[in-house]
Structure 1
Amino acid sequence: MIMRILLSAFLCLFLLTACGGGGSSTSNNDNTQQEDNSGDGSGNGSGDSGSGDSGSGGTDNGGSENGGTNEVQPSQPNILVIISDDQGKDASAEYPNYTSDAPNTPNLSQLASQGIIFENAWASPACAPTRAALLTGLYAVNNGVPGVPGNLDENLATVASMLKSHSVSQDYQTGFFGKWHLSGGGNDMSRVNRMGFDHVAAMAGNVGDYYNWQLYTNGVETTSTQYNTSHLVDLTLNWLTTLDNSKPWLTWLAFAAPHSPFHLPPNDLHDRDLSGTSTDIDTNKRAYYLAAIEAMDKEIGRLLAGLSQAELDNTVIIYIGDNGSPKAVMDTTFFRKPQSKGTLYEGGVAVPMFISGVDVTRQGTRENALINSTDIYATVADLAGIPDSVSNSTTSDSFSFYELLSDSNAANRQILYTEINNDGVHGSAIRNSQYKLIVMQDGSEEFFDLISEPQELTNLLNESSFASSSAYNTYLSLKNQLAVIKKEQANTATDITDAIFTKRMAGCAEYVNTYTSNVQDVRNSTNYNGDLNITVSNGKCIFNTNAIPNHDFNDGSQSFPNQVSEQNDTFEVTTQPAFAGSTTALTLNYDNAILLNGVKVDLLAAGCFGIGNGKIGCNDVNQPWRYDPMFAANGFNVDSHHAHTQPDGTYHYHGTPNAFYEQDKVVVSPVVGFAADGFPIYGPYFDDNGTVRKATSSYQLKAGNRPSGSGEPGGTYDGAFRDDWQYVNGAGDLDECNGMTINGQYGYYITDTFPYILACFKGTVDESFNKRN
């Protein structure tokens, strides 16, 4: 009852503010002046809006006289979705912190004040991707519309067809009015009907002239010379009067306003003193842009005043912008012009959004929950009464915020995601409640703290201490979630067969992806497929691998003693490695590292002198005189990649894994894998103050001869045994574990001589490398 009293008061306000001036706000031909479409995006029009006698119906066709408050209404709510075009938060009076020059929109402000204003609503930075997301509940990677113009697949479910497909909501009467922009640049507007809308009165795309534009009514094209914003409201009101009052309706009203061409709306729809000349428009674009918003506001007021009291009492209204404001008209009070429409910054993707009406019991509220444009889909399903089990499984991209309408503690989504591929901008963005990551197609990244600096001025990735900051794990987590969205939805993987790696990023999360390869066991002429999946969870990179390399193998002078076989291994690497109190020695109980092709390093898996023939496993790590499989005369049958198989068929490296980096060019080497303690493993070349050269080990052969007593091998220290080497501090570039710190980043380096990859661990070894697990 309280809700209905408030809505009654609200209607009275609309009758006072929206219906003044008498009659319809549509314009007629006598009162229009053609726009100047000289290529600057501007146009003009002047004169009164007319008296509504042009056949559009005006307020006479509204429903306020078509039954009073006792009118029988359906049990389900009517749903009105209103979309503004190119209206950012800096052009919305409901977000005063973002602008010092807001439009005067009393009707929208009244709507917002009687409902919930969402502070963190995201859309795409361009209109067609947002419209596709709103209609389908799918991210662009799933709906196929990442840019403008969109070409939406007719086979995808829309909000309208979703309602029709469920018995509980099949009585919804559905109407689409306004901008479509999803026919691939063409004019096949009959597809809108085929995608679930009973009645369609729409534009194929942008209007070139607000006073002369093409209208498609259920696929039939005509030319309208009425002011676009007003005529769309006329068409909507006309349709609403034809409906069965016992059944609910969904009205989708997508205004062209305030999108360019910037123009002078009919004078009775705004209060600005504007001449409408092309020169004035070009000089004062924002004033005309705001005038178009004010005209839209007044017509929204007329639309709602045209509903009967009972109809209004049973209607929920969702208002949302489709992207941020264009650069030419952006208010730089908060955002900068380079952060406008068309970019993945907040100025391009953060949009005004509010909801009010029936079922919205939280009123006068500002809500910080994360809302994605895709979420309208599942929320409409809940409003229509479709069971949660249905709406929640409709699409993983759409999260219903229905519970938030009455419960401030309701669950809400944890991340927002959007993407764009338009006008040379190709990338994705993801955020949580505080941090935001932008990843462009060229690999460049930006990471912002939206709480401490919502203007996105400081890219945290450029901070020298970022890798050790508390935000680093959030960065890795968001990057992983971004990869999961794009990987799982797009079902893609990277083929790294014989790939030369180039990245030197020290964080394992930089390599999140699915990798495949197609390689051959050369000796046996047998083909294998490598499969590696790297993800991030709870501060760890998780390597799920079948242990097949990304290069051909078993090409040595002698065949492997064991046939290679696929494994099912999982290794976990910390995303924030740190030095332990002391170094940890290599042990037979733990593998040493996992490389970026999914193959492990196991340096100690070799025989010892005096144990059998010296070629079988020597399982006591304290047993002296362990053979080095890299020493050719030992005959351990390694291939050209210094690897071979264990008895269970696991392929593993013993020495320099030379397939990952340039062998014939003197260039800085990439990261090739990660040690069990999380520190990166680099190839041999590094930049030594401007000179690129190989890192040198600080291990040297001992001088003289080995002991030759009982159980001792005798002979000269020549490298046949690991015990032939000793660490000599300062003898080379690297420390006792075969690592060094460059530019603040510690890592292990591949060397041509012992210990080849690493000799001990500087950090804490993860238990996933324990062979006994």
Structure 2
Amino acid sequence: MTISGVVVACILLRCAVARSSQPNIVFVLADELGWHDIGYHGSRVQTPHLDKLASEGIKLENYYVQPMCTPTRSQLMSGRYQIHTGLQHTVINPDQRSCLPLDEVTIAQKLKEAGYSTHMVGKWHLGHYTKGCLPTKRGFDSFFGFYNCAVDYYTYEKGKFCKFENETVLRMRGTDLWRNDEEHVAPYYQGHYQTHVLAKEAEDVIRKHNPSKPLFLYLAFGAVHVPLEVPKVYEDMYADVKDNSRRILLAMATCMDDSIADVTGALKDTGLWDNTIFIFSTDNGAATAYGGCSWPLKGGKTSLFEGGIRAVGFVTSPLLPPDMQGTENMELMHVSDWFPTLVHVAGGELSGTKPLDGYNQWETISLGRPSQRTEILINIDPLIPCEACANHTKWDHKKFDVHVHAAIRMGEWKLITGNPHHNYWVTPAEYPNMKNIYLNEPGKMVWLYNIAADPNEQDDLSDTFPGIVNILLDRLAEYNETAVPVQFPDCDTGADPARRGGSWGPWV
């Protein structure tokens, strides 16, 4: 290596971290934490620990995820767009024979190949119908957590209705908390608050870790996803917030913040922190119907507007160059980028994967260099209906059907087609004098925004710049040609926990 090459390597990982001493990687994923649900975005919420971590690192302020949980998690694990894995329609239900395809290589597998101890704590939500889908079969040395979403915070129960064509309904209900995909442990933890339980487990992983190997810890909290439940001591901190859902959600975020402080405390107590890259991200925008808030961004969870996909995210580490600590990064990034970025940081190889849609963004993060990507395919989902769309439109396109639920970001431009979901702005409920703003645009199915100039999507420019609309429709058509069929099977009654002693788990 040349002298200049050595200097660059030292800047990237502070010389002390050579390839023989790979950095630990701790990735914390919150569930449905909206843009306005963290303190450093001007929210009322108390998240002092996250705010401090972000202020010591690099805030990713032009960073995107997907509008719902499964697609984001699948792209984090595989580095591939959901149109290339068949997971482009909503989320995996607990009664479906579906999971991240078994021929997809995961980030955990690549880090394990690079010599890492790999551990997952928390919410999987990438399918569990057969044992091959489970975390310990996808590259994790250990797993403690649950397979589904919306698992009760105290009982660890999850319910699901299965409706059939003859209108009969099967109500499934079971508990969901596992250790290493073999031991169902929900009975031992019932009555203990989920966020605390997950943080304690992550602490145990850290304290038991053999420092002679690098650590990859993926901690995926259930918070702040419904059901809205929290210890009273946290809810009392927001007693003046009259809106019940908002009050509890704020309390859940503060509880998660305290739990993250316990996790980072364990890293510091064990001496691992000095050689750790810590990443925080949310999986999608706020669930505005359940107390979440993406203000001033438009929309929320499931929406193609910014409130559904612009994510809270940051990277912090003692390994970052001093002049990058405490900065904001406005370069374009996407959740799929973590796969190649972290494999690079770990000194691993990308051989053996399918073609990745993510880019290695380490120099963008650590040195502030321009992003490796110029566009993001947000999604193309042919199964979401557009009943309110007009039958005929001036945007009839030879290659792409604008009735389809789809969106793409290219440079400063963003195009949305079909039914975008949540065409409104939800204001913070703790400020009752602020009113929500709803738009009624019957028959409309194409929106164009300049996100750099108008991040809150107030000015639709589709009529002003029809040429740009057509360029982006052409690009959507090109992506659509690479899409695999949607994987969204019907309900399978074999999933019923009643058949397996009352717990959710593999049934095939």
Whole-angstrom CA distance in 1 between matches of 2:235 and 2:481: 48
Question: Following superposition of structure 1 onto structure 2, how do residues 479-498 of structure 1 map, counting pairs within 5 Å?
Answer: 479-490=473-484
Contact 1:81 1:317 in 2 (8 A): yes
Query: Which residue type is aligned with residue 233 of structure 1?
Result: A
Deviation, 1:181, is 1.0
Q: Cα gap change, 1:152/1:287 in structure 2, threshold over 3 Å: closer, same or farther?
A: same
Contact 1:201 1:218 in 2 (8 A): yes
Whole-angstrom CA distance in 2 between matches of 1:439 and 1:113: 37
Contact 1:80 1:315 in 2 (8 A): yes
Residue 340 of structure 1: aligned partner:
300
1:194 corresponds to which of 137, 160, 174? 137
Query: Which residue type is aligned with residue 476 of structure 1?
Result: N
1:478 corresponds to which of 472, 478, 484? 472
Residue 90 of structure 1: aligned partner:
36
Residue 325 of structure 1: aligned partner:
286
1:294 corresponds to which of 243, 248, 254? 254
Query: 1:117 is paired with a residue of what secondary structure?
Result: strand
Whole-angstrom CA distance in 1 between matches of 2:229 and 2:45: 15
Query: 1:89 is paired with a residue of what secondary structure?
Result: coil
Whole-angstrom CA distance in 2 between matches of 1:385 and 1:431: 30
Residue 371 of structure 1: aligned partner:
333
Query: Which residue type is aligned with residue 466 of structure 1?
Result: F
Question: Following superposition of structure 1 onto structure 2, how do residues 164-183 of structure 1 map, counting pairs within 5 Å?
Answer: 164-165=112-113, 169=114, 171-183=115-127
Whole-angstrom CA distance in 2 between matches of 1:78 and 1:350: 27
Deviation, 1:73, is 12
Whole-angstrom CA distance in 2 between matches of 1:189 and 1:359: 36
Residue 229 of structure 2: aligned partner:
263
Contact 1:381 1:391 in 2 (8 A): no
Contact 1:378 1:392 in 2 (8 A): no
Whole-angstrom CA distance in 2 between matches of 1:320 and 1:192: 20
For residues 495-517 of structure 1, what are the alpha-carbon distances to aligned partners after superposition, in whole Å with 9 as ceiling and x for unaligned?
xxxxxxxxxxxxxxxxxxxxxxx
Residue 87 of structure 2: aligned partner:
145
Deviation, 1:344, is 0.5
1:435 corresponds to which of 413, 423, 433? 413
Find out whether 1:453 has 2:443 as its counterpart. no
Query: 2:377 is paired with a residue of what secondary structure?
Result: strand
Whole-angstrom CA distance in 1 between matches of 2:133 and 2:353: 29
Query: 2:339 is paired with a residue of what secondary structure?
Result: helix
Query: Which residue type is aligned with residue 81 of structure 2?
Result: Y
Question: Following superposition of structure 1 onto structure 2, how do residues 501-580 of structure 1 map, counting pairs within 5 Å?
Answer: none
Whole-angstrom CA distance in 2 between matches of 1:130 and 1:342: 12
Q: Cα gap change, 1:286/1:364 in structure 2, threshold over 3 Å: closer, same or farther?
A: same
1:356 corresponds to which of 294, 312, 316? 316
Whole-angstrom CA distance in 1 between matches of 2:384 and 2:470: 29
Contact 1:378 1:394 in 2 (8 A): no
Residue 685 of structure 1: aligned partner:
none
Residue 466 of structure 1: aligned partner:
465
Question: Following superposition of structure 1 onto structure 2, how do residues 226-305 of structure 1 map, counting pairs within 5 Å?
Answer: 226-265=192-231, 267=233, 272-274=237-239, 283-305=243-265
Residue 160 of structure 1: aligned partner:
108
Unaligned runs of 5+ in 1: 1-69, 493-773
Query: Which residue type is aligned with residue 110 of structure 2?
Result: M
Find out whether 1:311 has 2:276 as its counterpart. no
Residue 607 of structure 1: aligned partner:
none
For residues 606-660 of structure 1, what are the alpha-carbon distances to aligned partners after superposition, in whole Å with 9 as ceiling and x for unaligned?
xxxxxxxxxxxxxxxxxxxxxxxxxxxxxxxxxxxxxxxxxxxxxxxxxxxxxxx
Higher relative contact order, structure no. (Cα contacts within 8 Å, ≥ 6 residues apart): 2
Deviation, 1:428, is 2.1
Deviation, 1:273, is 4.4
Whole-angstrom CA distance in 2 between matches of 1:358 and 1:477: 43
Whole-angstrom CA distance in 2 between matches of 1:423 and 1:478: 20
Deviation, 1:221, is 1.2
Question: Following superposition of structure 1 onto structure 2, how do residues 370-409 of structure 1 map, counting pairs within 5 Å?
Answer: 370-386=332-348, 390=350, 395-409=355-369
Q: Cα gap change, 1:187/1:264 in structure 2, threshold over 3 Å: closer, same or farther?
A: farther
Whole-angstrom CA distance in 2 between matches of 1:452 and 1:411: 18
Find out whether 1:216 has 2:178 as its counterpart. yes
Deviation, 1:358, is 4.1
Query: Which residue type is aligned with residue 284 of structure 1?
Result: N
Whole-angstrom CA distance in 1 between matches of 2:212 and 2:19: 5
**Identity value in percent:** 28
Whole-angstrom CA distance in 1 between matches of 2:230 and 2:147: 23
Compare CA radii of gyration and give the structure with the larger one. 1
Deviation, 1:251, is 0.3
Deviation, 1:460, is 1.8
Q: Cα gap change, 1:420/1:112 in structure 2, threshold over 3 Å: closer, same or farther?
A: farther
Q: Cα gap change, 1:187/1:177 in structure 2, threshold over 3 Å: closer, same or farther?
A: farther
Contact 1:183 1:189 in 2 (8 A): no
Q: Cα gap change, 1:217/1:431 in structure 2, threshold over 3 Å: closer, same or farther?
A: same
Q: Cα gap change, 1:483/1:233 in structure 2, threshold over 3 Å: closer, same or farther?
A: same
Unaligned runs of 5+ in 2: 1-15, 93-97, 157-175, 387-403, 421-443, 487-508
Deviation, 1:301, is 0.2
Whole-angstrom CA distance in 2 between matches of 1:374 and 1:118: 14
For residues 482-504 of structure 1, what are the alpha-carbon distances to aligned partners after superposition, in whole Å with 9 as ceiling and x for unaligned?
22222134499xxxxxxxxxxxx
Query: Which residue type is aligned with residue 459 of structure 2?
Result: T
Query: Which residue type is aligned with residue 92 of structure 1?
Result: I
Whole-angstrom CA distance in 2 between matches of 1:423 and 1:480: 21
2:27 corresponds to which of 55, 73, 81? 81
Whole-angstrom CA distance in 1 between matches of 2:362 and 2:44: 29
Q: Cα gap change, 1:332/1:197 in structure 2, threshold over 3 Å: closer, same or farther?
A: closer
TM-score (norm 2): 0.72
Whole-angstrom CA distance in 2 between matches of 1:396 and 1:255: 26
Deviation, 1:105, is 0.7
Query: Which residue type is aligned with residue 342 of structure 1?
Result: T
For residues 665-724 of structure 1, what are the alpha-carbon distances to aligned partners after superposition, in whole Å with 9 as ceiling and x for unaligned?
xxxxxxxxxxxxxxxxxxxxxxxxxxxxxxxxxxxxxxxxxxxxxxxxxxxxxxxxxxxx
Deviation, 1:478, is 2.6
Query: Which residue type is aligned with residue 263 of structure 1?
Result: E
Query: 2:277 is paired with a residue of what secondary structure?
Result: strand
Query: 2:367 is paired with a residue of what secondary structure?
Result: coil
Query: Which residue type is aligned with residue 116 of structure 2?
Result: Y
TM-score (norm 1): 0.48
Residue 125 of structure 1: aligned partner:
67
Whole-angstrom CA distance in 2 between matches of 1:423 and 1:182: 20
Whole-angstrom CA distance in 1 between matches of 2:283 and 2:62: 14
Whole-angstrom CA distance in 2 between matches of 1:374 and 1:111: 23
Deviation, 1:188, is 5.1
Q: Cα gap change, 1:249/1:109 in structure 2, threshold over 3 Å: closer, same or farther?
A: same
Query: Which residue type is aligned with residue 35 of structure 2?
Result: K
Query: 1:94 is paired with a residue of what secondary structure?
Result: helix
Whole-angstrom CA distance in 2 between matches of 1:411 and 1:327: 31
CA-atom RMSD in angstroms:
2.9
Contact 1:327 1:341 in 2 (8 A): yes
Contact 2:35 2:285 in 1 (8 A): yes
Q: Cα gap change, 1:491/1:155 in structure 2, threshold over 3 Å: closer, same or farther?
A: closer
More helix per residue? 2
For residues 371-400 of structure 1, what are the alpha-carbon distances to aligned partners after superposition, in whole Å with 9 as ceiling and x for unaligned?
11101111111110136xx47986330111
Deviation, 1:258, is 0.4
